[in-house]
Structure formats: C-alpha cells, structure tokens
Structure 1
C-alpha cells in the first residue's frame, strides 16, 4: 500500500506520515506490538488547528481524561476513515488510544516521521504549523510505502520565550514538570485551557484568542 492512497482520504487541514516499525526502539516496538502483534507500519495523522474554537475542551466521556474538543473529534473521525480503508484492502489495523490510556507517546512517534519535533516547551512542533497540531496514531500490518521522504531542519529556535512565560515554572531547560502544568489546569478549572507556552511560540500562525463578552441582563 502506498501513502499516496491514504493522503487522498484526508482533508487539506491535515497531514499524514508513516514510519516502519523497525525504526522504533525495542521497548517502543514491544509496546506497539501489544496493540497489534503483526504491526509493520505506523501512521501518524496531524490536524492543523487554525481556529481557537477547535481547541475548547469540554467535559464529556472520552478516552482523553474525560474531555474532548472539536479538533479531537475531527482527528478521531479521520483516523477511523483511514482504518476502514486499510481494512477494506484486507489488512488489520488498530487505533492507538491517547497516551494517558495507552502509554504510547504520540509526539515521539511523530518525531520519527520527520514532520516536526518536540520543542523546548515540550509540545510537538510541526515544521509549518508550530504547536498548533493535534495528533492521532494508527497501526497496520501492511507495509506502507512512500516515494517521498520528508526531511526537516530543527524546528524549535530555542528562543526561551516559553520558559519565561510559563506562570508556574513548569518548563525548564531540558526538563518539564508535568505535575505543575496539571495543577495549573486544575486552578483554571477547565481542561487543557492554559495555552501560554503555545501562544508565545513564534513557530507557526497562532489562532486568534477567543474573547469572552459579558452580556448585560
């Protein structure tokens, strides 16, 4: 199967890339094989977040901490479409649950595809969209071929803006305190609402922030 066939299934707001299972380290390969023992290829789907409304997280039953967003639902629908296409071709596939459930780090797999890298803010930075990308991962037991490999230079420019801007000092050079970041979310009482490190990042085009308007009674 060729990656070009899969690219025909996705909208312009998304990108798709692949890596061979043999590009993974032994422990990564072992973890992925727990979901699909016959896995040969890993498909990484990325959706470009262009509107802040896509990134409003609402509390509802979901694999991702019982909250979801428009971007989250969108990528889920597309990865299901890719899965259906692969299975109609006679191959097996498996959608990987989010890292909090699966333990699989999507950002690490996306780095192997060379569409971006993990920046100093510990977010995945797409080589064009910066931090405004939402990822999904699919495994399949067919080898996905691609006639064009993507090679990128370093994406993060190490400007230090995210480190200085973090209100709880969760980001330190070469270190990230996830507990402090989580506590920040809890203080705001809205899932995934602190976007400071993403909005300060100079890579990519930042969506206009949503303005809350008070309506007079």
Structure 2
C-alpha cells in the first residue's frame, strides 16, 4: 500500500473540489474520542419536530461508520441562486438540487482519489452534518438553526467524506451567538416558524411556500431565511418577496 502524503492528498482534494465548483473544503481531525463534545450539543438544540425536540440518536459518531477514520472532509457548495431552492426528480427514489448533485459527484471523485493514494475513504451519511461543519471552524448555527458559513451565510449545502488519511486539523468553534442582535430570518419567515430560541419544523414543513410543484419532476422550497440573512450576502443583493405573507 503506498504511503499517504498529507500535503499531496489535500492538494488533490482541493483541486477536485474546485473542478466541480465546490467553494468550501474543510479538514476536521478525528480521533478515538471524536464525537460532538458535550458542551457543543447545544448546536443540535432548538429545532422542534411536532411536539418535541429532534431525535439526537440520529447523530452518529464518524467512528461508528468508519472505525479507521482520522479525518472528516467537509465539502460546501454555494447555492447558485438563494431565491430558488429547487429539487429535481432523477428517479422514483432520488431527488436532489443541482448543488447536491455537484457535491455528490465531487465526493465520489475525492473518495476514489483517496483510495488510489492508499487510504480508506467513504461518505459520512449521518444526520446533522452542519454540526461537524461548525466543529471544523467553517461557521456557526444561526437563529434559523441552519448552518451559517462565515463566507456564504446559510447559502451553503454540505457533504462529508471520511478517510483514514491523517490530513485533519483541530479548529476553534464559533458560538451560536455569532448572529448577534440580527433577527432578519425571524422577521422574514412567512409562517413565523423561527423564534429567538427555536425553530418549529412542523410549521416550516407545512408552509405553503414549501413543496411547490413547478413541473412533474421539480419542486421548490421556501428560501425566506436564506435570502434574508446578511452574512455572506453579495453587495447589492436584495431579499426577494415571498409568495405568501404571515397572515
């Protein structure tokens, strides 16, 4: 098995990501105690589903998926248009946005490259990848409970790759309070699903702006909280009006 050279491998991963238009690449160090630190579990709180909190048992430690993993590679693709989040039906069991398709292709190519370099590699398919992106120092969890990238705000879709290659780093965690006094996403939500401390996923999911049928093979989802966020917003960009009001 050939030796894995960290610098070369990281350069290869970055080059592959760039080829598929992936703007953000992060390298998170994992070890035998790698899990969401107890003090950071709040990153998962504040999201309600029906009458209770989200089920944290769905959050899997990376080492449960790949015991040999030393690094999680975080890939982030910026939304092509934050005013339009459209998922296309590719088959009966598969629908994805253009951004997610690009992430899937890039992740597959990166996994192939890692294996050719002699490392084990595979996808991280657990829920709440946003938490690992926070632990990777790429951003924080906003009032909308979405991941807010330092560079692109909530306009980033994520994908994870696990590998035995030791190319990860330890990063400082940015606190949820990084949103400061901003309440743009709270005011923009057309159904009032976002409060200062939590998000009601039941309200969000029932919003008429969500699941809008555009064609037989395409549905659109609400982007009110995404477009309203000032973090990473391009100069001159204005929040587009929503299809319905709070009333």
Relative to its length, the structure with more strand (as a share) is 2
Tell me what 1:189 maps to: 212
Cα gap change, 1:25/1:125 in structure 2, threshold over 3 Å: closer, same or farther? Answer: closer
Find the aligned partners of 1:24 and 1:55 in 2 and give their Cα distance.
Answer: 31
Contact 2:84 2:223 in 1 (8 A): no
* Bigger mean CA offset, 75-84 vs 46-55: 46-55
Deviation at 1:67, TM superposition (A): 2.2
TM-score, structure 2 as length reference = 0.70
1:170-181 equivalence runs, <5 A: 170-181=193-204
State whether structure 2 residue 211 is matched by structure 1 residue 200. Answer: no
Residue segments in structure 2 that go unaligned for 5+ positions in a row: 1-5, 38-56, 214-218, 242-247
Deviation at 1:60, TM superposition (A): 3.7
1:100-139 equivalence runs, <5 A: 102=126, 104-139=127-162
Deviation at 1:52, TM superposition (A): 5.0
Find the aligned partners of 2:173 and 2:63 in 1 and give their Cα distance.
Answer: 27
Aligned length: 203
Residue segments in structure 1 that go unaligned for 5+ positions in a row: 212-217
Tell me what 1:42 maps to: 72
Find the aligned partners of 1:136 and 1:176 in 2 and give their Cα distance.
Answer: 23
State whether structure 2 residue 103 is matched by structure 1 residue 75. Answer: yes
Contact 2:82 2:226 in 1 (8 A): no
Contact 2:211 2:220 in 1 (8 A): no
Identify the match of residue 17 of structure 1 among 26, 31, 56: 26
Cα gap change, 1:200/1:209 in structure 2, threshold over 3 Å: closer, same or farther? Answer: closer
Cα gap change, 1:209/1:25 in structure 2, threshold over 3 Å: closer, same or farther? Answer: closer
Contact 2:137 2:173 in 1 (8 A): yes
Cα gap change, 1:187/1:89 in structure 2, threshold over 3 Å: closer, same or farther? Answer: closer
Deviation at 1:8, TM superposition (A): 2.3
CA deviations 1:177-210 (Å, max 9, x no partner) are: 1121111268643455100011111112267889
TM-score, structure 1 as length reference = 0.78
Tell me what 1:215 maps to: none
Find the aligned partners of 2:59 and 2:97 in 1 and give their Cα distance.
Answer: 30
